Structure 1
Amino acid sequence: MKPRLYALFSIAAILEILVATLLFQAPLLSAAMTFLGLNGLIVLILSYWHHSPRQVTNSSLKNNDEDEMEKYNANGIFDSTLQIAHQTLPVLRGGLNATSAKKTADIIMNIAEVPGIAITNREQVLTFLGVGCEYHQPGTKIKTEATKEVIATGQMKVVQTPQGLCCPSYHEGCNCPLKAAVIVPLKCREEVVGALKLYQVKEGAFSQHFVRLAVGLAELLSLQVELAELDRQRQLLTEAKLEALNAQINPHFFFNTLNTIISFSRTDPERARKLLIRLAGMFRQTLNRHGSLTTLRDELECVNTYVSLEKARFGERFQYIQDVPSSLLEYRIPVLSLQPLVENSINHGLLPKEEPGWVKISARLAANELHLRVSDNGVGIPQNKIPL
């Protein structure tokens, strides 16, 4: 199949997957497929470019060496970029740092077989691989003026001589074998966060395929860094919402429970003391929770404490039933996934009833998935409040 036709079929397949996931309204699946789909589109666009060579405005790029063209032919570039996209996808999920940069450079070096590669942030070298000298050590400040210029302007730079790199070590008699480089900015939301540098060991013009490889890889890495940042912010937002929910365990419940304890302090001081200990324990549990997950055991303890305090207020108005096998207690679930549901059942389902009712938590394992259910025999939701 001809390359362009292959690219068109592939793009159609990727778009079909993206549309399907969005139509099914599966946010996590949609996000994952969008991540893969965008990477795939970049790879396919690169493939189209390489199968349709064009003149490069820089006149020095016209003198392409036949061996270079052989090495970076269109099919090779497509395969290499596809492999790099696939392998760097999980690596950069945590963002751009020294560890992810080192792994990414390893992948590019092994697949693209460039003489030297460096990845930087805005201030220092995160990783360097290939032939070179001690001046390229990770963790050191960026020394080459060419790299500083790319980071400052956000524009790529093709450097064909050691003098063009403007490395201060060159004037100190350094024998570094790296003579030329393509330097491309890495961006996140249009802001430059670093640079990707692909080196060569000889001076002179680069093949247009080599330049396109550098630009394509930088675009690919920038996209993955940006998606990693979006994912990090989404996680922070989720944690912030959970912390806010944690912090607002119903203030009405808190003050009503205090009033109950005060009334018991006159008639039954010992019971008032126990209730006060339970209330303090419940809020201690809430404040000590960190992260978005907890064990089913801990969540049920929170529910048990809440129910015992509510029963102190309402006596035999409701019964609490817990049907949870002990083998499931260590499964991890989202924080505060049960207590608010039980609270709603009591306040809106059972208390409006004239006769006593019950609220029940049940747990089952089906197809290796934990199924939790909160049910009650309360008054239910009025038909006029149920959305159609």
Structure 2
Amino acid sequence: MGMQMLNLALLMLERVGIVIILAFLLVNVRPFRQLLFEQRTVANQLKLILIFAFFAIIANLTGVEVNAHNQLVTTGILLNVPHQNSVANTRLLAVTVSGVVGGPAVGAVVGLIAGGHRVLQGGLAAWFYIPSSVLIGALAGRMYQRQTVQRKRVLFMSPVQGIVVGFVMEAIQMLFILLFSPTGWELVKLIALPMMTINAVGTFIFLSIIQLFLNQEQEMRAMQTHDVLALADQTLPYFRAGLNGESAQPVASIIQRYTNFSAISLTSTDKILAHVGAGSDHHVAGANIVTRLSTEAIANNEIRIAHSKREIGCSQADCPLAGAIVIPLDVDGKVVGTLKMYATDAAFITPVEEQLAQGLGSIFSSQIALGAAENQSKLVKDAEIKSLQAQINPHFFFNAMNTISATMRHDTEKARQLLVQLSTYFRSNLIGVRETEITLAQERAQVQAYLTLEQTRFPDKYQIDFENQASTSALLPPFTIQVLVENAIKHAFAGKKQDNHIQIRITVAGAMLQIQVSDNGSGIDPAVMSQLGQQTVPSEQGSGTALYNLNQRLIGLYGPASGLQFQSNPTGTTVTTQIPLKGAKPHASLDR
């Protein structure tokens, strides 16, 4: 009996290779990988059912036959099994992992198909394999659901947990055999230990392959985010001079050095400014744009992705470029050029590369806008705008970059989102430099970007409520809300690490737009209350110019009645301003 169990274990271990092949396909072949990690739609679930059912049937066909005397029978493909014989196979391994990956519905249906096929092999005497397989698939799926709820950022259970699940699922099958098989006890004595062990090991291997892929992808994204930060730092000095032939050439070289793309191009709206890498013989700086893909991206201000030479549309027949991502670079909604990232192998263009290209396009657009704003600011003599420009706090930038770098180590997706918010924040600052008034929607985006970065630095420290009764197209001076919120965060909550509330209320009173920012902080020292807004009030956290500049801008634009009004006591402070309502009529409902 002991030698037979060992032989059976070795034979079953060979069959585990089927599941290893399945795991390899799911994480390495793009269509299968999308099924594994994308949202669970009905169509995706049906595809998963077909895949896992196919492998479960293969497991049935390649099982090890055990005769009525509990002896192993070495045969080929098991199309028909005598009703008195049994089959040891890895069918339940496929059923178990289908539930773990796809959930209870997928697991149950795969179990139904696998159990039904087993009955077709061995006759009605094997009927109990149908309910047992359905039950096992559904139970494995329930464990998948529990993992998803408890660990929101992890799609699958850990490999170590997989050992327990695989062992328990096979134990359930042994119980059904013990209760309903004519040779139940004798058969279970022979196959229970090998089958339970192999199912546990197989589940462990399957989940380990998936976990290895996830870890590698996380590491790759972390490295990519680090490279993006370094790349942005090196390209900024060039793009501050604008998008032109002189700046484009070194920028294209820097991008190619930090990425794995075969070629990098930067263009204006009609000409190639720089091209580095494959295809340089006919993609030449100064020449007209030669790809249809670029023309479409510029015309529609949308990213274009090509996975073939035909989609790229290069007029040169022997062009080596087989895949491309074209990202329009826009300043204030107007396309000024494109960033084009090429590959000589179309398979290189994956979702990771697409996300990288989108992130770079957003950063470069911001850098170009920064350069344009700097050039414009040199021509502007208005002292208030120059004073406003000085409000961009370098300490905030470095704190934000440190926060992103720290977040990148454990949550690369969050780090990407913070980079987008940082880009939004600085683009809003640039708009504020050039404009006297902006929409409430633009101001709110600026405030939200600032708050997202601050709340990431100090989780759960601040609670912000935004109540709006005005149209988002209403006009107000840039940074009006931003300065008041930032002032509250910096000065209102000294020593308080929690229960810090800030309420932003935008209301309409007749022809006036009222902006009110309240906090539940410790209040303002009465000794400095009369100075706020009238002169700079230096503090340990800053120069004290923000409130003064804001108040002077409000008074200069709308008159003394629009100056900042302060109400403060030891339980909190409220700052209010009223400006003429312009841009749109008020909304009837609240926008929170």
TM-score category, normalised to shorter length: 0.3 to 0.5
Structure 2-normalised TM-score?
Answer: 0.28
Higher relative contact order (CA 8 A, sep 6+): 1
Larger radius of gyration: 2
